[in-house]
Amino acid sequence: MGWYTFGLFAHLFIDIPKKDYWEMFTHHVVTLALLYFAFVKGYYRFVMLTLFCHDICDVFLHTVKMAKYVDNVRTVPDIVQIPAFLPLPFSWLVFRLFLFPRMVIYNSLIQCPRIVGIENCSYYWVYNPLLIVLYILQVYWFYLILKIAYKKLSGKGTFADIREGPDKTGMAHKIKTK
């Protein structure tokens, strides 16, 4: 919970707002709520499976981000950037868009009430909508990943983060470069 609490704090007070400011804010709040209910009501298995499905993709996401940060300073050839990028959409599709709804949402939404009864699924009507919101956010970010890939493959751009630039919050900060 400390990691995600810091993530929310950094998002609010440290990071430069991007176009998906509110989506990322929602993600942090939903994640903290899911972790809280896991600790309070004992949904440890659901949280562990959720973290497993999401954290695997983070390895590839941060690899792509590092390659892009290096590319901002020194040109990184496509022969390095493309292999660094390719695992990201595939892992996102498999773990976040296929396994997460199949293993976590299905079991929490359908199997849990079927096995123990709806009356024994405490916070059922709170926990499951949070999981579904998290899934909707993953679909949205997968769309952005595909958009980046399309721009690169069509020769109309780079692997740049398309969330950068003026944000929807009206709170865009200017980065002064020397």
pLDDT in tens, 77-88: 878 888 888 999
Residue 148 has pLDDT above 90, yes or no: no
Q: Are 148 and 81 contacting, i.e. CB atoms less than 8 angstroms apart?
A: no
Greatest Cα pair distance in the chain: 63
91-103: pLDDT as tens digits: 999 999 999 999 9
Residue 157 has pLDDT above 80, yes or no: no
Return the SS3 of 75: coil
H or E element in which residue 89 lies? helix 87-91
Distance separating alpha carbons of residues 136 and 130, to the nearest angstrom:
10
Of the listed ranges 5-9, 16-20, 77-81, the least confidently predicted one is: 77-81
Q: Are 85 and 64 contacting, i.e. CB atoms less than 8 angstroms apart?
A: yes
**158 CB contacts (<8 Å, ≥6 apart)?**
71, 151, 152
Q: Are 49 and 104 contacting, i.e. CB atoms less than 8 angstroms apart?
A: yes
pTM of the model: 0.82
Q: Are 133 and 26 contacting, i.e. CB atoms less than 8 angstroms apart?
A: yes
Q: Are 60 and 39 contacting, i.e. CB atoms less than 8 angstroms apart?
A: no
Residue 103 in tokens: 């293993």
Give the per-residue pLDDT at 120.
80
Give the per-residue pLDDT at 10.
87
